[in-house]
């Protein structure tokens, strides 16, 4: 298991970022040894990108939202 942060300051800032930001970050953090990916953050629009992430990463993607 690996945990990575994206270093966004403030508690509300992540909620205002576009879904493309989260898609790009997950693809950037792609790990060949991963079995799945998990995005955990309340009110992040990442859930809209799950199908595209799964296609791009070739693995299941899960979100806590």
53: in domain: yes
In the predicted structure, residue 18 carries a pLDDT above the cut 80: yes
29: in domain: no
In the predicted structure, residue 65 carries a pLDDT above the cut 70: no
9: in domain: no
22: in domain: no
Domain extent for 57: 40-65
Count how many domains the chain has. 1
pLDDT in tens, 19-64: 888 888 888 888 889 898 887 766 777 777 788 888 888 888 877 7
In the predicted structure, residue 11 carries a pLDDT above the cut 80: no
3-class SS of residue 64: coil
In the predicted structure, residue 4 carries a pLDDT above the cut 70: yes
55: in domain: yes
51: in domain: yes
Q: Looking at per-residue confidence, does 58 or 13 come out higher?
A: 58
Which residues, at least 6 apart from 41, have a Cβ–Cβ distance to it below 8 Å? 14, 64, 65
User: Are the C-beta atoms of 40 and 63 separated by less than 8 Å?
Assistant: yes
pLDDT at residue 5, rounded to an integer: 77
């Amino acid at each position: 298991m690996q945990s990575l942060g994206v270093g966004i300051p403030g508690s509300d800032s992540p909620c205002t970022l576009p879904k493309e930001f989260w898609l790009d970050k997950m693809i950037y953090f792609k790990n060949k040894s991963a079995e799945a990916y998990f995005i955990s953050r309340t009110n992040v629009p990442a859930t809209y990108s799950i199908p595209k992430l799964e296609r791009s990463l070739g693995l299941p993607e899960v979100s806590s939202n």
